[in-house]
């Protein structure tokens, strides 16, 4: 076993080195984010935390779909970086910021119009919370641009600094807002302030680009590539967040709070393995631009993902009560959900690697079929929601089907092309 592990560790030293760098930063960020969630869970109580969880699910769904922007910017930054064409990188950066700011303002107006309807569906009485959520989404639409450039340049240490500062601001300002008696309104106001400061910091980090002359004729086929990327990443994160919204609709405030807490614990697995994707994508993209074989990077990433996902999953199954009480306290009766929730997220993590790899090598046709699987999950939850466990079982079935589909799509790169 030891020889097997070291054999895989030596396959791609660069991937391992940069993944460790990103992992350290991501670990700090995840700790800060989980301290944020744990503090809010204990300070707000199950009922208000259920509302917070539902609104955060909206944020996760939309902002992770905005991850498509980061992916596109990262993809083409890697392309220009391979040729050391910083003028095109600057042109890409400025053009993306300008266009997204315009679209974001238009989108914010529409969000304000539909906010009362969304508040009614989620049983939220304070529509102002939705308005603040909309402002946060506007800032989150723009933020992936500088982050995508930093990632595409493979400046992972800089990426860590920006990410840690962002998470620290979110925690510090959020805790201060609660202690000042702001409750949910104060929490979301603080969230917007932290996001704005983080955006300013990430833009300042790229100040060195302004010494180059921007090339206006940036050859980026944004529509051709960004649409399937947007579809793929949006659907992927809907898979692990739409259930929280549906639970908020079908169940009581307290049950929704339980489910939100169990979901957060399960997603520790996803966040832990996410560092690998941050390092993998630009490397695969760069390798693809140079017509090199990137399948070894894929196999190494899958290997590390399975190891990282397996360890917490074992803990979830062996000591669920201890973990739930440690993280959220005895008010949250969720120990029976943690193990199966962890299994769902572990399987999803493998699918996530395969999806991102295919997007990095510009294979995008598979993304549209994911819509059918998402529809299957939504319909399944609409039919089977007598208990929280039934909802989780539906998500498990869907994720098993999805990982099988993605393994089939990537069969050639994985070395088991039978057709």
pLDDT in tens, 307-340: 989 989 999 999 989 988 888 878 888 888 999 9
Distance CA 166, CA 25 (A): 12
The dihedrals phi and psi of 133, each to the nearest 5 degrees, come to: -60, -40
pLDDT tens-digit map of 239-249: 877 888 888 78
Decide if pLDDT at 385 tops 70: yes
Whether pLDDT at 396 is above 80: yes
Do residues 170 and 36 touch, judged by C-beta distance below 8 A? Answer: yes
- The residue-averaged pLDDT of 102-121 equals 85
Predicted TM-score (pTM) above 0.75:
no
Report residue 349's pLDDT band, with 50, 70 and 90 as the boundaries. Answer: very high
Between 381 and 24, the more confident residue is 381
In the predicted model, is pLDDT for residue 418 greater than 80?
no
Average pLDDT over residues 127-132: 81
pLDDT (0 to 100) of residue 378: 93
- Extents of the domains making up the chain: 2-414
DSSP string spanning 348-414?
HHHHHHHHHHHHHTT--GGGGGHHHHHHHHHHHHHHS-SSHHHHHHHHHHHHHHHHHHHHHHTHHHH
8 has pLDDT over 70: no
Element counts in the chain: helices (H) and strands (E): 18, 0
Query: For residues 186 and 180, is the Cβ–Cβ distance under 8 A?
Result: yes
**pLDDT value of residue 216:** 64
| Structure confidence at residue 28 as a pLDDT band (50, 70, 90) | confident
pLDDT band at 4 (very low <50, low <70, confident <90, very high): very low
Task: Compute φ and ψ for 340, nearest 5 degrees.
Answer: -70, -30
């Amino acid at each position: 076993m030891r020889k097997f592990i070291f054999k895989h560790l030596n396959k791609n030293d660069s991937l391992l080195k940069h993944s460790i760098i990103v992992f350290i930063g991501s670990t700090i960020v995840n700790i800060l984010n989980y301290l944020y969630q744990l503090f809010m869970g204990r300070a707000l109580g199950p009922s208000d935390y259920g509302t917070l969880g539902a609104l955060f699910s909206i944020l996760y769904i939309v902002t992770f779909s905005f991850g498509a922007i980061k992916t596109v910017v990262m993809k083409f930054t890697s392309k220009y970086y391979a040729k050391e064409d910083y003028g095109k990188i600057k042109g890409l950066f400025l053009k993306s910021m300008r266009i997204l700011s315009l679209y974001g303002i238009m989108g914010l107006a529409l969000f304000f119009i539909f906010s009362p309807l969304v508040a009614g569906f989620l049983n939220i009485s304070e529509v102002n919370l939705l308005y603040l959520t909309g402002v946060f989404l506007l800032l989150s639409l723009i933020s992936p641009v500088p982050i995508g450039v930093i990632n595409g340049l493979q400046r992972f240490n800089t990426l860590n600094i920006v990410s840690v500062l962002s998470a620290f601001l979110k925690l510090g300002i959020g805790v201060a807002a609660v202690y000042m008696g702001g409750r949910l309104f104060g929490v979301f106001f603080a969230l917007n302030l932290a996001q704005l400061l983080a955006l300013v910091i990430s833009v300042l980090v790229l100040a060195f680009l302004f010494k180059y002359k921007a090339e206006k004729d940036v050859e980026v086929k944004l529509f051709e590539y960004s649409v399937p990327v947007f579809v793929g990443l949006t659907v992927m994160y809907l898979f692990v967040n739409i259930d929280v919204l549906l639970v908020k609709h079908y169940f009581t405030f307290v049950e929704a709070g339980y489910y939100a807490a169990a979901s957060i614990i399960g997603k520790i697995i996803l966040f832990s393995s996410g560092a690998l994707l941050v390092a993998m994508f630009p490397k695969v993209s760069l390798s693809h631009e140079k017509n090199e074989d990137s399948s070894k990077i894929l196999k190494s990433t899958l290997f590390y993902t399975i190891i990282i996902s397996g360890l917490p999953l074992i803990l979830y199954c062996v000591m669920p009560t201890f973990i739930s009480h440690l993280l959220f306290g005895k008010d949250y009766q969720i120990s029976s959900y943690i193990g199966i929730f962890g299994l769902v997220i572990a399987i999803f993590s493998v699918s996530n690697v395969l999806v991102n790899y295919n997007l990095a090598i510009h294979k995008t046709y598979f993304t549209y079929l994911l819509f059918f699987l998402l529809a299957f999950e939504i319909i399944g939850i609409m039919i089977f929601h007598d208990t929280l466990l039934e909802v989780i079982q539906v998500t498990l079935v869907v994720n098993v089907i999805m990982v099988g589909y993605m393994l089939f799509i990537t069969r050639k790169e994985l070395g088991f092309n039978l057709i």
